[in-house]
Amino acid sequence: MNILYICNDDSKPWQKAVHRHIPEAEFLVWGEDVVEAESVDYVLAWNPPPGVLATFTKAKAIFVLGAGVDALLRDPTLPTHMPIVRLVDPRLSSGMTEYIVHWVLHFHRSMHVYARQQTARQWVQYENTNPAKRRIGFLGLGELGQDAAHAVLMLGFENIAGWTRTPKDLPGIESFVGAQGLDGFLARTDILVCLLPHTKDTEGLLNAVTLAKLPQGAFVINAGRGSLVVEADMIEALNSGHIEAAAFDVFTPEPLPQDHPYWTLGNVFITPHIASLTTADSATQVVAKGIQAIIDGDLPDNVVDLTNGY
């Protein structure tokens, strides 16, 4: 069994993990090892150059080394005759949940205000808002969103809602569905958590019109995709104070250009796409289960629906 790794990150942790969890496999690195295209059985890929994947015509599956698959789907030569599997890994979920919980608490407890006060050497106390009265809204309730929403719920935030493409029945979470449910969802949301993937339907979803539907002084946390946001509209909403503050982990393009206005906005908090990072050992265990499913004649879990884009 030949497993080909296509990624710009260090291959050594992945080689070690594959040898541990799939000992019968030969681990090959694209661009380093001599690879006969027809000998590749499985591909582990993250942001491969367009056209590369099409050369591995005999591969049985492509395993994406992250939760997002939009980079692959932009490749017009992407081979669609084999399963393309997105990564659903407990370590990815826990990392994202930590990130979301951090920023929800940060804004809920006015830490952005106290940070400014420290710079100005001001000592002013503000009353804490009851978490049961703070309205949290999740744009997207996939594996990552559900895990984060559950964690926030356990912290006493009782007024939680989610907006999804199709109905979801989740305990303690009010459901808003489709285009007809978006306005109502936004109007009741004080802290908006964005975890949607990039699709033709989600691109530019947060724009001047939809941002205006949020309550005055709302907060935005985007750890989904940069393409969800029309940046000029977001900057205007931040400058006007309609959006009190925001935390962004994803951008278009990445890295964020040095001259981008976000860098100098005092109510914007930037992280370099680190909300949830793939861990080789944990992810390889998920890949190993997927490969075993294929060997057993089944489909692995979390095969990408090419129609929906995730």
Say how far apart CA 199 and CA 248 lie, in whole Å.
19
Say how far apart CA 206 and CA 202 lie, in whole Å.
9
168-222 pLDDT per residue, tens: 999 999 999 999 999 999 999 999 999 999 999 999 999 999 999 999 999 999 9
> Is 273 among the catalytic positions?
yes
Give the residue-averaged pLDDT of 152-171: 96
pLDDT band (50, 70, 90) for residue 308 = confident
Given the residues 20, 21, 225, 260, the one annotated as active site: 225
> Is 121 among the catalytic positions?
no
Q: Residue 67, SS3?
A: coil
Say how far apart CA 159 and CA 234 lie, in whole Å.
25
Say how far apart CA 102 and CA 219 lie, in whole Å.
13
pLDDT for residue 68 is more than 90 = no
Q: Which domains does the chain have, with CATH numbers?
A: 2-89+278-295 (3.40.50.720), 90-270 (3.40.50.720)
Given the residues 19, 188, 242, 273, the one annotated as active site: 273
The CA-based dihedral angle spanning residues 168, 170, 172, 174, taken in that order and rounded to the nearest 10 degrees: 0
pLDDT for residue 309 is more than 90 = no
Q: How confident is the model at residue 213, as a pLDDT?
A: 98
Nearest to 227 by CA among 258, 255, 256, 206: 206
